[in-house]
């Protein structure tokens, strides 16, 4: 059974983009194929919560070879999306500290698949922010109604597809 979501996604406006891909690039240095975080939907500094997204497309480099005939978004790219979300939150909070590198990942569970055409919504909560490192809890969700209306809107909860702890190190 998946854990409780870090935030109630029903209260997040999935159409209100706080920072688009260009805005993400102002904080995170990732570019081209390695920019996994496409936008920010919500930031709550008081509770140290951030919600971002990644639109999974069918023309990406991994689609042809990661399960031919049934492309599945690689788990390692979900982890990288989570790392970029935590990085965006911490660096935008502590501007001027430099680059926050990927320091580790713990307690990862993949709970479902993500396919081209879906929007992966990534949630993060900062748990620890020390001088040398930070740790964020992360979760990812998909729901057909976020993916351009592929099918009728449903009254069920979004499906959790990933969870894990991300450690960032100041470099």
Looking at the chain, the whole-number percentage of residues with pLDDT higher than 70 is: 94
Write down the catalytic residue from 22, 30, 38, 66: 66
Sorted by where each begins, the domain ranges of the chain are: 9-170
Give the separation between CA 135 and CA 142, rounded to whole angstroms: 23
Q: Is the pLDDT of residue 26 over 50?
A: yes
pLDDT in tens, 38-80: 999 999 999 999 999 999 999 999 999 999 999 999 999 999 9
Q: Domain 9-170 carries which CATH code?
A: 3.10.129.10
Token pair recorded at residue 112 = 């479902």
The three-point CA angle 47-48-54 to 5° equals 125
Question: What separation in angstroms does the CA of 112 have from each of 44, 97, 153, 160?
Answer: 27, 36, 20, 7
**Residue 156: what pLDDT?**
57
Q: What is the pTM of this model?
A: 0.92
Is 66 a known active-site residue? yes
């Amino acid at each position: 059974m998946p854990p409780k979501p870090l935030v109630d996604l029903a209260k997040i406006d999935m159409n209100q983009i706080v920072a688009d891909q260009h805005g993400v690039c102002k904080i995170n240095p990732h570019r081209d194929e390695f920019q996994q975080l496409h936008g920010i939907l919500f930031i709550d500094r008081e509770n140290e919560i951030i919600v971002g997204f990644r639109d999974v497309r069918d023309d990406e480099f991994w689609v042809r070879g990661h399960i031919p005939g049934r492309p599945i978004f690689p788990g390692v790219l979900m982890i990288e999306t989570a790392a970029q979300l935590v990085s965006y939150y911490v660096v935008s909070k502590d501007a001027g500290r430099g680059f926050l590198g990927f320091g580790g990942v713990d307690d990862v569970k993949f709970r479902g698949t993500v396919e081209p055409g879906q929007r992966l919504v990534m949630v993060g909560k900062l748990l620890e922010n020390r001088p040398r490192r930070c740790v964020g809890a992360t979760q990812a969700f998909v729901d057909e109604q976020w993916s351009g209306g592929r099918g009728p809107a449903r009254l069920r909860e979004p499906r959790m597809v990933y969870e894990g702890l991300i450690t960032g190190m100041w470099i």
